[in-house]
Structure 1
Amino acid sequence: MNDHIYDAVIVGAGFGGLGTAAQFARSGRRNFLVLEREADLGGVWRDNTYPGAACDTQSVIYCYSHFPHLTVERMYAGRDELLGYLRALADEYALHDHILLNSGLKSARWDDCAQLWWLRDDHGRTYLARVFVPALGQLGTPKVPSFPGLKEFSGVAFHSARWRHDIALAGKRVASVGAAASAVQYVPEIAAEAAHLVVFQRSANYILPRNQQVFTAQERARHQDDPAVFQELRERIHAEREAGFARTRLGTGEQETGVREALKHLRDQVANPALRRKLTPDHEFGCKRILRSDDYYPALNRPNVTLETSGIEGFTETGIVTHHGKVHDVDVVVFGTGFASQTFVGDIEITGRNGRTLADRWDGVPEAYLGMLVDGFPNLFLDYGPNTNLNHNSVVTMLECQQQFIAEATEQVLSGACGPVEAAAEEVRDFNAGLQAELSRSAFSSDCSSWYKNADGRVVNNWSGTVDEYHRAVAAFATTLSGEALAS
């Protein structure tokens, strides 16, 4: 057993974990450890290597304010640039020596007497920490539905987040099971080389133009020579995206404008009326993730591409059978079927006060105070926890706010200025009651199938307001930071 006591142990070396580590470093704290289950840092930008992988949020706001991405080449940055940014972030704050790779966390247990977290990794090694920060994100564990007959399929099948680069798609019959955020990026790439591509769409999505902007060499040089220019662009786009939050509210003129823009984009790019009908959403704008693409619709116009809207009945040895009995023989299947987005802590068994596990505390309804604190789990801070996802702005701005709070709260804990930090049960209950009341007026809660909602239709992923409102709420909460105010 490692009997060294860390100030904090962070789990996950993606945007959340590295950002938290950077905040600790910025505050002068170096006695922390980052446990990463994979062989490299990067999180989703390490894992998602599919063709066309990129961010659908503008790069100037998809970075930390304390480490702006001044060298970025495109407004919507690709996977390689974003992974490079995270590596540069780790370099900037000398984080590499604090990261333990190939070390997934199996369990975490709070010791009330010692006021410590006991952590055990998948190698059986034990770590002690004053503060525990799960930063596994919401989109890290691929999900593939249990289709009947899938095991009998003789072709190649893989999830888009586990792309098989050893499989050449040229001349192959390929199926994409899924037509959402990842698929709208890889489908155009596959369509250009496959003999035939069939795209299985469960429901149509609202897609807005991407209007990619490539920064010139002169613009990139100016960003680096005068970061204030980059900052001005960042602030303008942040304000525009914040104003766009109104589009996610039911019955607003802004929501109607969003619908018009998306349907115009569809009309402009798809001339075939039958295909256009298949691609026309039948749910509230904002209920699902709003997508951005300039080349997805044109890919579906290609003669070698079929859009299949009948549901999948199951797999055969040679392909896929729809509910209507149509058989699609394929050589390769790509699952763009999303992620286990509502675990928030992966498969880590977390035990808090009185032997109660986090899984038991949540019981299928993940909730936290401001997405970070759960009653009964002292000095545990969730990064990108329940109800902190967005559909209108950069989630990195949410993460940075959380990380600043986590660093400040950790300072309070380590200085002895307060006891263990947690939220009282009634605070978590009242906060989430208000949150859900707000969300009931949001498109997120409307009638559609969405990864934002649990099996009972409760929105457990998304925040109910703007980023600025979240920042103000966290700032107000931080002023109450004392053992008496927060201990349950």
Structure 2
Amino acid sequence: MRVAIVGAGFAGLGAALRLQAEGEDSFVVLERAPAVGGTWRDNTYPGVRCDVPAHLYCFSFLPNPSFSSRFARGGEIRDYLERAAEPVREHLRLGTNVESAVWSGTGWHLTTSAGPVSADVLVLAAGRLTAPRLPEVPGRFAGPVFHSSAWDHSVDLDGARVAVVGTGASGIQLLPDVAARARSVVVLQRSAPYVLPRGDVAYGAVEQARFAEQPDVLAALRADLFAEAERLYDARVGDLGARQEARARALRHLTDQVGDPALRARLTPRHEFGCKRVLFSDDYYPAAALPHVTVQGPLSSFEPDAVLTDRDRHEVDVVILATGFHTTRQPYAGLVRGRTGSTLDEHWVAGMQAYASTAVHDFPNMYILDGPNASLSHNSAVLMIEAQIDYVLGALRQTPPGVALEVSAAAEDRYAQEMAVRSVGKPWTSGCSNWYTDPRNGRQSLLWPGRATEFRERFATFDLAPYERRTVAAAARDRRGGARHDGPVGAESRGAASHP
């Protein structure tokens, strides 16, 4: 097998589709779930939708004229990915759990629930939103408890007393529907988020037909949306004046929708704008202001029939955990073992890092999509995924069978240091608790600290210079303790590049 891809969300399917388009037929996509879709397969809670304009949140090479609104609902995105997977369906191995992946010196050998898989190249496309973060508090609740990413549709919320733990992206999306059904809702929050108006726009049948019949119109819309999102970088990260203006807009939105001064105070963020994810909603604040909804402090403990804060006790029938994910420590990292026998988790013991946000020293012919410093706070993650796929395809053109590429330790460390330095002074590192910062080293390890345009331009061309290139025979000797080539690639390949 030429390439083994782990994960069938946006990243894994994108890699598979591009490999097929390049004429490569020797690849497999391993997915532990029974269906494709990644986070959009898993998250089926009421109100789930994307905060990025739909026509940016799809593959550039596979536009979708059928999106029903500017911000697509989760089901639409899931359906889009199901359709996108059709051309590579025969390469999918659904319901296949990867139990280990080991570099043998000649290639990658994977142990899976469906049997062994061997491949020259390993692409990890498992994403960051796969391991739910659960509250670590005393006590146990006796009734139904479920995370927003594992919504229990068998639980009847009509007339129930419900606790919603968390006010991040999932929490504010699901609250309006839960509040419409429940007898009472208590919302338990650690810190209030900044919420901007969503301002959604519906696409009717006429517009959808126009997008389908005139691809240039849809392409122009996508280009406009991209330019608009790139300008948001200043409001999220860059210019202080732009950030202050955006913060003022969020606070006006709060004031316009919440009349009660006491509730408004509880819903007012105390952190710097942009330190946490900025959210979008037109119906969260009205739901929070309903008479049968209360907003309290953070969860402190459970009792069999209640949730407790430091001040109050609330008897409830159902607990919904909208508490996010372990984003800076990936569950797959303990399963992957590199050239020297260490796991990826051990390599990342002091924090996640990867050269070009994609390649890791000691792990030859392995590439990570949507991994360290590969996300954005202002634009579509799919743009970054596509840029990384371009990078991986360039690497594959430089990696014929029998050749191993491994990024140097120095290049990986320099890149990690660059990410750390460029994150200093950004709102993400201003002191709040967020999902961008790795607690192991205090570094911001999730976001690319620049615009999407810069990442795409910088890594549109694969450059061999930071890599060590060896035959697999030499790599096998290294694993047995033989000589190792620690320098950059030789003169015969230095500076060679491939344009995807």
State the TM-score, normalizing by the size of structure 1.
Answer: 0.94
Matches within 5 A, 1:230-309: 230-249=218-237, 252-309=240-297
Q: Which of 338, 343, 362 pairs up with 1:376?
A: 362
Letter in 1 for 2:406: E
Contact 1:138-1:341 within 8 A present in 2 as well: yes
Deviation, structure 1 residue 476: 4.8
Q: SS where residue 422 of structure 1 aligns?
A: strand
Describe the superposition over 1:303-347 as per-residue Cα deviations: whole angstroms up to 9, x where unpaired.
1100012x32211111111112x1100000000000121234536
Q: Which of 95, 107, 111 pairs up with 2:100?
A: 107
Say if 2:397 is the partner of 1:411: yes
Contact 2:120-2:401 within 8 A present in 1 as well: no
Deviation, structure 1 residue 248: 2.8
Letter in 1 for 2:60: S
Deviation, structure 1 residue 368: 0.3
| Residue 341 of structure 2: aligned partner | 355
Deviation, structure 1 residue 357: 1.6
Measure the CA separation in 1 of the matches of 2:321 and 2:333.
22
Deviation, structure 1 residue 163: 0.5
Q: SS where residue 400 of structure 2 aligns?
A: helix
Measure the CA separation in 2 of the matches of 1:266 and 1:408.
47
Q: Which runs of 4+ in 1 moved over 6 A?
A: none
Measure the CA separation in 1 of the matches of 2:464 and 2:455.
15
Deviation, structure 1 residue 427: 0.4
Describe the superposition over 1:221-269 as per-residue Cα deviations: whole angstroms up to 9, x where unpaired.
0000001111111111111111111123366111111101111111111
Deviation, structure 1 residue 83: 0.6
Say if 2:435 is the partner of 1:471: no
Say if 2:162 is the partner of 1:174: yes
| Residue 417 of structure 2: aligned partner | 433
Q: Which moved more, 1:466-475 or 1:406-415?
A: 406-415
Letter in 1 for 2:137: F
Matches within 5 A, 1:55-94: 55-91=50-86, 94=87
Q: Which of 119, 123, 126 pairs up with 1:136?
A: 126
Count of residue pairs brought into register by the alignment: 472
What are the ranges of 5 or more consecutive residues in structure 1 without an aligned counterpart?
Answer: 1-5
Question: Cα 1:246–1:129, aligned 2, differ >3 Å: closer, same or farther?
Answer: same
Q: Which of 291, 304, 317 pairs up with 1:317?
A: 304
Contact 2:196-2:281 within 8 A present in 1 as well: yes
Measure the CA separation in 2 of the matches of 1:348 and 1:42.
23
Deviation, structure 1 residue 102: 1.0
Measure the CA separation in 2 of the matches of 1:374 and 1:330.
47
Question: Cα 1:139–1:389, aligned 2, differ >3 Å: closer, same or farther?
Answer: same
| Residue 153 of structure 2: aligned partner | 165
Measure the CA separation in 1 of the matches of 2:316 and 2:240.
44
Contact 2:411-2:466 within 8 A present in 1 as well: no
Deviation, structure 1 residue 41: 0.9
| Residue 47 of structure 1: aligned partner | 42
Contact 1:134-1:345 within 8 A present in 2 as well: no
Describe the superposition over 1:73-110 as per-residue Cα deviations: whole angstroms up to 9, x where unpaired.
1111011110111011112xx11110101111111111
| Residue 448 of structure 1: aligned partner | 432
Contact 1:157-1:334 within 8 A present in 2 as well: yes
Describe the superposition over 1:11-47 as per-residue Cα deviations: whole angstroms up to 9, x where unpaired.
0111111011111011111110000001111111110
Q: SS where residue 95 of structure 1 aligns?
A: helix
Measure the CA separation in 2 of the matches of 1:347 and 1:103.
17
Measure the CA separation in 1 of the matches of 2:110 and 2:456.
31
Measure the CA separation in 2 of the matches of 1:250 and 1:219.
35
Deviation, structure 1 residue 481: 8.0
Say if 2:446 is the partner of 1:461: yes
Measure the CA separation in 1 of the matches of 2:84 and 2:489.
34
| Residue 7 of structure 2: aligned partner | 12
Question: Cα 1:127–1:298, aligned 2, differ >3 Å: closer, same or farther?
Answer: same
Deviation, structure 1 residue 487: 5.7
Measure the CA separation in 2 of the matches of 1:430 and 1:477.
17
Measure the CA separation in 1 of the matches of 2:333 and 2:413.
25
Letter in 1 for 2:411: E
Deviation, structure 1 residue 133: 0.6
Q: Which of 19, 23, 26 pairs up with 2:21?
A: 26
Measure the CA separation in 1 of the matches of 2:240 and 2:18.
38
Letter in 2 for 1:355: G
Matches within 5 A, 1:171-250: 171-249=159-237
State the TM-score, normalizing by the size of structure 2.
Answer: 0.91
Instruction: Let me know the Cα RMSD of the aligned residues.
Output: 1.6
Letter in 1 for 2:409: A
Deviation, structure 1 residue 479: 6.8
Q: SS where residue 233 of structure 1 aligns?
A: helix
Measure the CA separation in 1 of the matches of 2:97 and 2:124.
11
Give me the identity figure in percent: 38
Q: SS where residue 108 of structure 2 aligns?
A: strand
Measure the CA separation in 2 of the matches of 1:367 and 1:86.
28
Measure the CA separation in 2 of the matches of 1:109 and 1:16.
22
Measure the CA separation in 2 of the matches of 1:384 and 1:236.
24
Measure the CA separation in 2 of the matches of 1:375 and 1:95.
30
Letter in 2 for 1:121: T
| Residue 476 of structure 2: aligned partner | none
Contact 1:108-1:348 within 8 A present in 2 as well: no
Measure the CA separation in 2 of the matches of 1:46 and 1:461.
22
Q: Which of 139, 153, 171 pairs up with 1:149?
A: 139
| Residue 376 of structure 2: aligned partner | 390
Contact 1:105-1:348 within 8 A present in 2 as well: no
Describe the superposition over 1:345-372 as per-residue Cα deviations: whole angstroms up to 9, x where unpaired.
5365111112122111110400000110
Measure the CA separation in 2 of the matches of 1:186 and 1:347.
31
Contact 2:391-2:461 within 8 A present in 1 as well: no
Describe the superposition over 1:426-458 as per-residue Cα deviations: whole angstroms up to 9, x where unpaired.
001111111111100211111101011111421
Measure the CA separation in 2 of the matches of 1:288 and 1:69.
30
Contact 2:334-2:344 within 8 A present in 1 as well: no
Q: Which of 300, 307, 313 pairs up with 1:327?
A: 313
Contact 1:315-1:321 within 8 A present in 2 as well: yes
Letter in 1 for 2:217: V
